Amino acid sequence: MGSIFIGCVVGFAAWFLVRYLVAGVYTVNQNERAVKTSFGRAERVGVAMTAQDPIAASLNAEEKERYNYPQVRVILPGGPYFKWPWEKVYKVTVATQTMNMAYDPETPDANYQGTVLEAVTKDQLNTGLKGQIRWHISEKNLYAYLFGVKHPITHVMGYFVSVLRERIANFEAPTNAKSGDPSALHNLAATAVTGISINDLRKNLSDINDHMDRECSTSAARYGIALDASLITGIDPPPEVESALAAINTAYNEVSSSISLSQASADQKIVQSKRAVEIETLKAQAEVQPIVALAEQLTDLKQNGAGALDAYVRNVRLKLYSEAKTVILEASHE
């Protein structure tokens, strides 16, 4: 009987060691971070909160109050580490991941199996958007990702899609035309030929991507997921307006070409006119200069006495007589 009891005790001890002590040893991979909880409460870093961290700099006052999560102790890659039976370890990967922007985590079959996201433009055209987003779990806000919301990526994708659709619905092509800039006014007039927002969207994809990056910069503080970049690669109009868009683009190209040729011709004529004025001005200055110099000399001679001026005139005549082959003099009738 005693041996049976001793065997039960030894067996229980062995089971306890394997079940709770040996199984309590764990490691964290290089692309992972971990958070440990004790009786369901995550280990925290003092009283530090998300609102005090630079990650919340892009949040307004109301958002800082709503998304003010505690800072938790992050277990870095390495090990082996140990946890007690009443403790639990949550591991997450912090590697950058890529996802189609049309993917719906809750309904994978939505948006044409997660390939095309539909949005309505300002002129009421239903257009399809294609592209990708890069994201990673924020190491500075693991509490929000693990315990703040049930499905963080679902919240982030919903937020991203709502911001994108709002941008598409209200997008207007930026204009830099100024009242004193003729070339900018010409470009604005040529652009007005399109008259349809899909062309504006296609020509300003980089601006839209930059706008999405700015608007989604708060996702790390909100949900613990940081959007590294969004890349919209295609905007497809409805099939019934594709031919109309092609005709509009052709007309736009023709108008732009005509304006460019006219502008180049006008610039060339302006340059030629300026050059002609400069040449004629130089010629006039060259003709006037000797006359001005002669007038200055005659003025100096006159100031030295009337006889000096007469002598100068006589010497000039004598020089002309010496060079002339024939001299015609007026006969005197005295």
- Asked if 116 and 161 touch (Cβ cutoff 8 Å), the reply is no
Position 19 in a domain: no
What is the average per-residue pLDDT within 244-269? 75
Residue 227 and residue 301 in one domain: no
Are both 69 and 210 inside the same structural domain? Answer: yes
Dump pLDDT digits (tens) for 301-324: 667 666 666 777 777 777 777 777
Looking at the fold, whether 45 and 172 belong to one and the same domain comes out as yes
225 belongs to a structural domain: yes
Q: What is the mean pLDDT of the chain?
A: 79
Distance (Å, whole) CA 151 – CA 251: 49
DSSP H or E segment with residue 156: helix 152-169
Question: Quick check: 95 and 136 in contact, CB under 8 A?
Answer: yes
The pLDDT assigned to 306 comes to 62
In this structure, which amino acid lies at residue 181?
Answer: D
The total number of structural domains that make up the chain: 2
Nearest-angstrom CA–CA distance, 41 and 32: 20
Same domain, 152 and 283: no
- 221 and 81 in one domain? yes
Q: Which of 140-144, 172-176, 219-223, 275-279 has the lowest mean pLDDT?
A: 172-176
Mean predicted confidence (pLDDT) in 7-14 = 68
In a shared domain, residues 223 and 292: no
C-alpha 111: how far from chain center: 27
Q: Which helix (H) or strand (E) segment is 287 a member of? A: helix 239-303
For the segment 267-300, what is each residue's pLDDT rounded down to a tens digit? 888 888 888 888 888 888 787 787 777 777 777 7
